[in-house]
């Protein structure tokens, strides 16, 4: 059977995940990921015709909380673990791509 995942795809996934991989790592991960995918291919043999897609592994739903405010951490504590901060803000490398924002 051919490789389930090629080097190109590994490079693409790495790029999307903001990971920098060396040539050796790409080779290594391509092999490993291929093996994993091949293993999972076994699942394809199962008859899932009557099985509903599973959204969550626990058989529960509707776990809510009421809309009541609780104490937040506060600025000082929030920034305590940050590698860098600038006044009350987290300080991060300049964001060049302006298309952030959900």
Partner 1 sequence: MNDLEYKVIIGLEIHVQLCTKTKMFCSCQVGFGEQPNSRVCPVCLGMPGSLPVMNKKAVEYAVLVGLALNCKIADFTKWDRKSYYYPDLPKNYQISQYDLPLAENGYIDVPLDDGKTKKIRITRAHLEEDAGKNIHSTGNFSQVDLNRAGTALLEIVTEPDLNNSRQAKTLAIELQKIVRYLVVSEADMQKGHMRFEPNVNLIINKDGKEYKTPIVEIKNLNSFRALERSIDYEIERQLDEFLQTGKVMQMGNKSTRGWDGEKQVTVLQREKEEANDYRYFPDPDLVPVVLKGKWLDDIKGNLCELPLKKQIRYVSKFKLSEYDAGVLTAERSTAELFEKAVQAGAKPKRLCNLITQIGLKLANEAGRCLAELGLNAQHLAQLAVMIEKGEINASAADNIMQQMIKTQKDPTTLANELNLIQKSDEDELDKIVGQSLEENAQAVEDVKSGGKKSKKALGFLIGQVMKKTKGKANPKIVSKILHKKLS
Q: Which residues, numbered 18-77, are part of the site for partner 1 (CB under 8 A)?
A: 18, 55-58, 60-70, 72-75
Q: For residue 80, which of 70, 72, 92, 88 has the smallest C-alpha distance?
A: 88
Residue 83 makes contact with partner 1 by CB under 8 A: no
* Shortest Å distance, C-beta 21 to partner 1: 16
Count the residues of the shown chain that bind partner 1, applying the rule CB under 8 A. 42
CA 63 – CA 57 distance, rounded (Å): 14
Q: Report the residue number, 2 or 57, with the smaller CB distance to partner 1.
A: 57
Cα-to-chain-centroid distance, residue 65? 26
Under the binding rule (CB under 8 A), the answer on residue 89 touching partner 1 is yes
Q: What is the DSSP letter of 51?
A: P
């Amino acid at each position: 059977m051919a490789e389930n995942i090629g080097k190109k795809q590994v490079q693409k996934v790495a790029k999307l995940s903001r990971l920098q991989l060396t040539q050796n790592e790409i080779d290594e991960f391509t092999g490993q990921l291929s093996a994993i995918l091949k293993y999972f291919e076994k699942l394809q043999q199962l008859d899932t015709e009557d099985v509903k897609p599973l959204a969550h592994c626990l058989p529960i739903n509707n776990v809510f909380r009421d809309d009541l405010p609780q104490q937040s951490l506060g600025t000082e504590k929030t920034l305590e673990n940050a590698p860098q901060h600038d006044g009350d803000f987290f300080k991060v490398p300049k964001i060049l791509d302006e298309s952030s924002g959900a």
